[in-house]
A = this chain, B = another copy of it.
Amino acid sequence: MSKPPSEPYRGKNPLIRKLGRFVPLTQAECEVIEQVCQSSHQHRQGSDLIQQGDKPRTVFLILKGWAFRYKQLEDGSRQIMAYLLPGDLCDIQILLFEKMDHSIGLLSDAEVVKIPAAEILDLMDRFPRIERALMWATLVDEATLREWLLNVGQRSALQRLAHLFCELCVRLSVVGLVDEDESFVLPLTQTELADTTGLSTVHVNRTLQRLRKDNLISTLHGRLTILNPTKLAEIAGFNNDYLHTDGPPVEQQLRARVSQSM
């Protein structure tokens, strides 16, 4: 679990932090992103940004707080399919669909920007480097989804939770939300952990106790501290490659791609 150098958060725009990791951004590019983020709204925990069946009209950008993507079955069971953290933009391409096949809810009070389709398209036209970074981010989201399927399909309860915590730690540290002691705010109830990992709440509870007893994690006041990152990652079989947080050979990549296409 390699942790990127974590300068203190100091209010820097999380989207810039995230994209900057994929493609170094110019002053102008940063400014235009900042500008888009001006028009943010506050939303309350528990409300849905959009629901299954709705027609998507805007893309959501999370500036503060946590959101999550989920599907609900008739029998009341629910599967959480992604967490959307500060700096995350919920899939741009989704505008193509006439109906959402899932909902997006809020796990905490949140600051959200609603970006109309037009604005996103315009932004991507004018700033191809931003477009690239967004495409990259989309690919990472997909890779993450695949990893979740692997997690739920093949790993034990202990591994599933361990893996989830490793992933969240890496993702949060990218946007500066992890402290030096590997601790971070985790606004999830055990029910939500259960719906993420395909376990029951009771078993999530048991498993968390196990993780605590083995001195792998500790929880206090809604924060989670990873006490032994190495061991936790080992148990989980966690390999952060799929998150592509390390060195961005993106530029070379793209040059290669373009030259191929000539």
Contact = CB atoms under 8 A, between A and B. Distances in A.
Interface of A: 71, 73-74, 77-79, 81, 91, 93-99, 101-102, 116-118, 121-122, 135-136, 138-139, 142-143, 145-146, 148-150, 152-154, 195, 197-198, 237, 241-242, 244, 249-250, 253-254, 257, 260-262
8 contacts: A94-B139, A95-B257, A96-B254, A145-B145, A149-B149, A152-B198, A153-B195, A153-B197
A96 B242 contact: no
Given A94-B139, A96-B136, A122 B81 contact: no
A208 B148 CA distance: 26
A261 B122 contact: yes
B237 A81 contact: no
A146 B101 contact: yes
Given A96-B254, A149-B152, 7 more contacts: A78-B154, A117-B261, A118-B262, A142-B145, A145-B146, A149-B149, A153-B195
Nearest to A159: B73
A123 to B, nearest CB: 11
A258 to B, nearest CB: 9
Nearest to A75: B237
B98 A253 contact: yes
A99 to B, nearest CB: 7
